[in-house]
Chain A
C-alpha cells in the first residue's frame, strides 16, 4: 500500500531575482514499511524533499498524498495533527530542548497532543527501557553523550507511534561506532513496520537501505530498489 504519493511536485525558492528549483517535476511513491535512503550532494534538494514529506514545507505545485489523503489542501492545524500522529522527526543536531530532562523531551510530543500525564509517564518509562536510557531519565541534554542524545531524539520521534520516521543525517554529528548504534536502532524500528526515510550524503550509509533515491538539482536521477532484501537484514 502506498504510504506516500508525490505527483508533479514543484518547489521554487526566490533568492533575490533568481529562481531556484529545489524540487522540479518530482513523482515518487513510497510504500508502507519501506526503508529508503535519500542521497545527493548538498543543494540537490534532498532536505527540501524531507521537509515537504514532513509537511514543514508546502510545494508550489503538485499533489502530496499521505495515506491516501491530499495533505497539501489541509489547514495548518490539520497538518499539525498529522505531524503529531503520523510523522516522527530525527535531526542531525538532535534538537532536544536544553532545559528539559531526557524523560521530558521524550514526553514533549505527547504533551503537545494533550495526552494525560499518567499515560505519558507510562509510555516514557517504557521508551526509556527500550532505548537503554532508564538511568538517564533525569539528565538534561548537556549531561548526555551524543549517542544518548540521539537515542532520546529517536525515542521522542517514536513515542506517538508514527507511520514514518524522517531522519535528516541522523549520524552526522556522531562518531562511527555511535552512528552505527543509532542506525541499528532506526533499522530495528523499520523491521517492526515503521517506514524509515533517511537523508544522507554518505553512500555507505545509504547502501544499507533497501531502496536508494539519488537526487540532483531537484530531480530524482536514480531510484534503485534492492529487491533482494525486501526486509532488511540486520548486521550483528
Chain B
C-alpha cells in the first residue's frame, strides 16, 4: 500500500467517527495549548524582567555594602563581621576612576509626606542629579535635584507623578512646601511618568539630596552606588577598578560587593528559563495523558472495526499494512491535535498580550517544537499497541464480527 493511500485511508477512518476523534483531538490540543501558553507566560516573564532591568540604565555597575560573594573562608572575614560604611566620599572617589562615566549614591528609606493635612507613607530616595541621568528620568514640571555638592543637605525634593496626584490633588506642586519626616522641604520638580521599574516605581518616589536623606534616616552608609561605565566594553574594567579603589579606601578590606547589571540579568535570565522549562515539563504531563487517550480511542477503533480488519485481510492486506494504517490513524489524531493545540496556544498567548500589553507573552520556538514533537511521539507510541493488536487479528473471527 502506498504511503499517500495509507494516510488518506487513516484520515478517512479518523473523520468517519467525528465525536470519538474530536474528543481525543481536543485532549491532545489542550496538552499542546497548555505547553504553548505556559511557556509563553514563562518566557514573557523572562523578557519582561530583562527589559525592566535594562530600563534601570545601561552599562550599569552596582556597589553594595557588605561582602555577599562567597570568596571562601579568610581570617579577615572572620574577624570583622561588620562592614565599613559605604559613604558619599566613596561615591565621589569612584568618579575619578577612568572607566566610570557617572556615579550616583543612593540611600533609601520610608518616611511620611504631609501637605496641608494629606498624609501618606512614601519611599524616599536620597541621591544626586547623576541618578536621574543614569536612569534616564526626566522632569515633568520644575527641575531635577540641583547639581550641588553631594555633602550639602538642601531641603528640596523631586516627587513622582503619582505622589503629586495623591498629595496635591490637582494643585500646583512645584514651589510648595511639604513636610517630609518632620522636615520642611520645598518641592522643586515632578518626575515624568516612568512606567514600571524593578524594585521601586519612580512614580511613587520622593527624591531628595543624598546628604538630606542621611540626616533624615540618621545613617552614614549608602544603600547602593550606581555607576554607569563609559561603554559596554568598560563595564568589566569599571567593576575591577571600583572594587580595587574601595578596597584601598577601606583599609585593604573587601567589604563591598560590586556587581554588574549583566551578571544580575544573566542570573534572572537563567532562573526564568529554568522556570519556563519546568512549567513546560508540567504541561507536558497533559500530553502524556492525551497520548493514553489516543491509545484508548485506537483500542476502541480496533474493536469497533474488527469486521473491517478481517475484510482488509481477506482483500490481501499484509499484517504490516494494517499496522501502518492504524498507526497512521493515531498519527492523524495527534497531528490534528497538535495543529489545533498550537492554534489555541497562540490564540491564548495573543489574548494575554491583548489584555496585558506590557507582558510580552510569545511562546518560545523550542517550546512549540517540543510540544508538537512530543504530541506526535506520544500519539504514535500509544498507537503502537492497538495497531499491533489489529494486525494480529485472526481474519476468520474478525470477519464474523460485523
Contacts and interface: CB of A to CB of B under 8 A. Distances in A.
A107 to B, nearest CB: 9
Contact of A97 (B2, B15, B308): B308
B1 A114 contact: yes
Nearest to B12: A99
Interface residues of A, number: 31
Given A83-B316, A109-B316, A114-B2, A91 B9 contact: no
Interface stretch (A49-57, A190-198, A207-215): A49-57
Contacts of A160: 316
B111 interface: no
A189 interface: no
A93 B307 CA distance: 11
A83 B319 contact: no
Contacts of B2: 111, 114, 116
A76 B314 contact: no
A51 B396 contact: yes
Interface in B6-24: 9, 12-13, 15-16
Contacts of B95: none
Contacts of B233: none
A80 B396 contact: no
Interface string A39-82: 00000000000010010110000000000000000001100111
Nearest to A159: B315
B313 A80 contact: yes
A93 B316 contact: no
7 contacts: A57-B395, A57-B396, A76-B318, A80-B317, A83-B314, A108-B312, A113-B316
Nearest to B14: A99
Q: Which of B5, B15, B307, B315 has its CB near the most chain A CB atoms (within 10 A)?
A: B315
A182 B230 CA distance: 96
Given A56-B396, A56-B399, A108 B13 contact: no
B96 interface: no
A145 B396 CA distance: 26
Contacts of B232: none
A87 B313 CA distance: 12
Interface of B: 1-2, 5, 9, 12-13, 15-16, 307-308, 310-321, 395-396, 399, 402
Contact of B315 (A51, A89, A116, A117): A89
Contacts of B316: 80-85, 87, 109, 112-113, 160
A106 B310 CA distance: 16
Contact of A77 (B5, B15, B310, B318): B318
A84 B12 contact: no
A86 B145 CA distance: 99
A56 B395 contact: yes
A82 B396 CA distance: 17
Nearest to A115: B2
Nearest to A52: B396
A97 B311 contact: yes
A100 interface: yes
B314 A56 contact: yes
B65 to A, nearest CB: 76
Contact of A111 (B9, B313, B314, B319): B9
A87 B321 CA distance: 18
B311 A95 contact: yes
B402 A100 contact: no
Contacts of B399: 56, 91, 95
A112 B317 contact: yes
Given A93-B402, A95-B399, A111-B9, A80 B318 contact: yes
Contacts of A111: 1-2, 5, 9
B314 A54 contact: yes
B12 A109 contact: no
Contacts of B314: 54, 56, 83, 89, 95
B308 A112 contact: no
A40 to B, nearest CB: 18
A112 B1 contact: yes
Nearest to B305: A97
Contacts of B308: 97
Nearest to B6: A111
Most buried by A among B15, B310, B312: B312
Contacts of B310: 56, 95
A43 to B, nearest CB: 14
A91 B314 CA distance: 11
Contacts of A87: 316
Contacts of A80: 313, 316-319
A91 B308 CA distance: 12
Contact of A99 (B1, B13, B396): B13
Nearest to B311: A95
B315 A77 contact: no
Contacts of B311: 95, 97
A56 B315 contact: no
Contacts of A112: 1, 312, 315-317, 321
Residue of A54, A56, A57, A116 with most partner-chain B CB within 10 A = A56
B16 A56 contact: no
A109 B16 contact: no
Contacts of A109: 315-316
